Amino acid sequence: MLNPGDGLRTSRLQLRRFTGDDLDTLYRMYADPGVMRHAGGVLDHDKASLMIRERILDYYALHPGLGIWATIESASGACVGLHLLNHIRGAQHIQIGYLLFPRFWSLGYATEMAREVLHYGLQTLRLPQVTAIVDLDNLASQRVLLKIGMQRDGARHFAAYGPQPLAWFTRDVQAAIGDREH
């Protein structure tokens, strides 16, 4: 986010930066087989610690405006998961993504906040393109990406994410501008 205290909001959700106080929540997320089934698999404590430090907490200062944020249900204050706008590991592409705890699946939360994050990336940060990668068999996440206006552009392989190709989605700023004009 441009200003850490001013997170993106929807009618039901808000984003905020993760802090050291959120470590237990993140460890729980990364240890949940349901959450991690399509996100590289469960992480042990050491791998989760490295991910939290490098890809979350240190990333904010290194890449202003980008990051992985806690997704908070406004009514309850509960952390429902995370949404992200960050670099694909080992690449220059900026990706959108999300992980939600299972009890918050099928409520429309992934789509609702992903739409806001995509708009933020293209309109506020003026990124020329936002991408997404998804396991080929994760049809639910692929539907979310299509709902928010991403386009499926085949499959790509990124070494940091294992040997299997991943569904590749893109959305460029020109398409977003075109949609707004029609």
> What is the number of domains present in the chain?
1
Q: How far apart are CA 144 and CA 90, in angstroms?
A: 25
Instruction: Provide the pLDDT for residue 91.
Output: 87
Q: Could you tell me the CATH number of the domain that includes residue 163?
A: 3.40.630.30
Q: What are phi and psi of 107, to 5 degrees?
A: -105, 0
Q: How far apart are CA 133 and CA 128, in angstroms?
A: 17
In a domain, 76, yes or no: yes
Q: Spell out the per-residue pLDDT of the chain, length 182, in tens.
A: 444 435 899 999 999 999 888 988 988 988 888 887 877 777 888 888 888 888 888 999 999 999 999 999 999 999 999 999 999 988 899 999 999 999 999 999 999 999 999 999 999 999 999 999 999 999 999 999 999 999 999 999 998 888 899 999 999 987 665 555 54
In a domain, 165, yes or no: yes
In a domain, 6, yes or no: no
The DSSP-derived string for 49-77 is HHHIIIIIIHHHHHSTT-EEEEEEETTT-
In a domain, 4, yes or no: no
Query: Is there a contact between 14 and 73 (Cβ–Cβ < 8 Å)?
Result: no
Domain that holds residue 94: 13-181
Counting beta carbons within 10 angstroms of the beta carbon of residue 7, is it exposed (0 to 12), middle (13 to 18) or buried (19 or more)? middle
In a domain, 8, yes or no: no
Q: How far apart are CA 52 and CA 28, in angstroms?
A: 12
In a domain, 5, yes or no: no
In a domain, 38, yes or no: yes
Q: pTM of this prediction?
A: 0.89
Q: In angstroms, how far is the first alpha carbon of the chain from the final one?
A: 29
In a domain, 23, yes or no: yes
What is the CA 80 to chain-centroid distance, rounded?
Answer: 13
Q: How far apart are CA 157 and CA 151, in angstroms?
A: 17
Counting beta carbons within 10 angstroms of the beta carbon of residue 26, is it exposed (0 to 12), middle (13 to 18) or buried (19 or more)? buried
